[in-house]
Amino acid sequence: MAESGIKDLVPFYAALLIQPTNRHEGSFSYKIIRELTIAEADEIFSAYRALDEILNVSVFAYVRETLRKFLHTIQDDVGDMEGASSTVDEPDLIVKLGLRMRTAVLALCSSLHFHQEHNYKQVILKFGEGSPQHKKMQKYFNRLFERCPEYRLLYHLRNTMVHYALDVIKINAGSKEVGGEAKGWTDPLVDLKSMLELNTEIGEKYRIQLAAMPDDPSVVELVTKTMPLLFETDKMVVRIIHPEADKAVKVLSDFDALFADEIGARALSTGKVVNPGSSFQFQYSAFAHNVLEAARRGTV
């Protein structure tokens, strides 16, 4: 929120375009796109807050961020292996790769666990235990468990790493010559045998299923198969916790359409300064690009 001189501030609701100027660094120009009623402004701001919460401060935002950091860790490992020997045989490099990769895997697996736990807590707080909304959410997560054994494995991998051992993640990396250049590679693996031996809390039925899986599955493959189904599940979960989500998308999409192809930040003005000598002109809230982009796509 950009604050103006309160003494000279009067209510003024409008779609406001903010653009940098060439006068000096940090200077901006303001263009009123359309004046709004207070009811329209309230609806737009409520829609923005709902989508901002879903996209930027929800538990699934945490999942997306841990996924991004896991992918960056893959890139970092590949970079460190460029020009290295054909096997990971340097103690310092082994320590570096192991600590970084296991931290990234644990963070990602923990985010999956927290995503489910947090949403169950929220639906019970909002609608009550055993409510239709609670039962619907249980159905969605149970279906994810059944449809995606990779998700289930990552979910249990978190418990094993937290309560038993981090080194059930095996570091599997190296470099090979391609076209006369050393190319790094990394493919962290889950030590299923150790996981089954260590984690005595895994139920017998699931233990049999794990034992039947191929040894040492690739974490990258597990994540690759999990994420599309998890994203699909979260879209349904979001609409239980936030039944207003689809309406908020429409309201914010209509607000964004007012600006057409104008370049600059979209903002909602709630006041303007009537003192002509003031260096401030408006009180406003500027809207984050990723929230508006989701509204343009028509979904969250």
Among residues 242, 258, 279, the one where a domain terminates is 242
Q: Do 227 and 277 share a domain, yes or no?
A: no
Q: Do 140 and 253 share a domain, yes or no?
A: no
What percent of the chain shows pLDDT beyond 70? 92
Q: Do 87 and 233 share a domain, yes or no?
A: yes
Q: Which domain holds residue 147?
A: 62-242
Q: Do 108 and 201 share a domain, yes or no?
A: yes
The pLDDT assigned to 83 comes to: 62
Q: Do 230 and 189 share a domain, yes or no?
A: yes
Among residues 214, 242, 270, the one where a domain terminates is 242
Q: Tell me which amino acid residue 292 is.
A: L
91-108 burial: b if 16+ Cβ within 10 Å, else e: eebeeebbebbbebbbbb
Question: Quick check: is 47 in a domain?
Answer: no
Q: Do 189 and 74 share a domain, yes or no?
A: yes
Q: Do 192 and 265 share a domain, yes or no?
A: no
Q: Per the structure, how many domains does the chain have?
A: 2
Distance CA 103, CA 70 (A): 9
Question: Tell me: the pLDDT tens digits for 150-178?
Answer: 999 999 999 999 999 999 999 998 888 77
Question: Quick check: is 40 in a domain?
Answer: no
Question: Quick check: is 145 in a domain?
Answer: yes
- Reply yes or no on whether the pLDDT at 27 is more than 80: no
Question: Tell me: the pLDDT tens digits for 226-278?
Answer: 999 999 999 999 999 999 999 999 999 999 999 998 999 999 999 998 776 65
- Reply yes or no on whether the pLDDT at 6 is more than 60: no
Q: Do 161 and 69 share a domain, yes or no?
A: yes
Q: Do 106 and 254 share a domain, yes or no?
A: no
Residue 284 exposure: Cα atoms within 13 Å on the Cβ side: 22
The pLDDT assigned to 1 comes to: 43
Give the pLDDT band of residue 3 (cuts 50, 70, 90): very low
The pLDDT assigned to 142 comes to: 96
The overall average pLDDT reported for the chain is: 90
Give the pLDDT band of residue 181 (cuts 50, 70, 90): confident
Question: Tell me: the pLDDT tens digits for 113-134?
Answer: 999 999 999 999 999 999 999 9
Among 155, 172, 198, residue whose Cα is nearest residue 98: 172
Query: Under a CB-based contact definition with an 8 Å cutoff, are residues 266 and 17 in contact?
Result: yes
Question: Quick check: is 136 in a domain?
Answer: yes
Q: Do 119 and 169 share a domain, yes or no?
A: yes
What percent of the chain shows pLDDT beyond 90? 72
- Reply yes or no on whether the pLDDT at 109 is more than 50: yes
Among residues 242, 260, 284, the one where a domain terminates is 242
Question: Quick check: is 55 in a domain?
Answer: no
Question: Quick check: is 52 in a domain?
Answer: no
Comparing 48-52, 66-70, 79-83, 295-299, the range with the smallest average pLDDT is: 79-83
The pLDDT assigned to 278 comes to: 59
Give the pLDDT band of residue 9 (cuts 50, 70, 90): confident
Question: Quick check: is 73 in a domain?
Answer: yes
Give the pLDDT band of residue 104 (cuts 50, 70, 90): very high
Q: Do 285 and 139 share a domain, yes or no?
A: no
Question: Quick check: is 4 in a domain?
Answer: no
Tokens, residue 7? 């003494």
Distance CA 136, CA 221 (A): 29
Q: Do 234 and 270 share a domain, yes or no?
A: no
Question: Tell me: the pLDDT tens digits for 268-298?
Answer: 999 998 776 655 688 999 999 999 999 999 8
Distance CA 113, CA 131 (A): 22
Question: Tell me: the pLDDT tens digits for 191-231?
Answer: 999 999 999 888 898 888 888 888 899 999 999 999 999 99
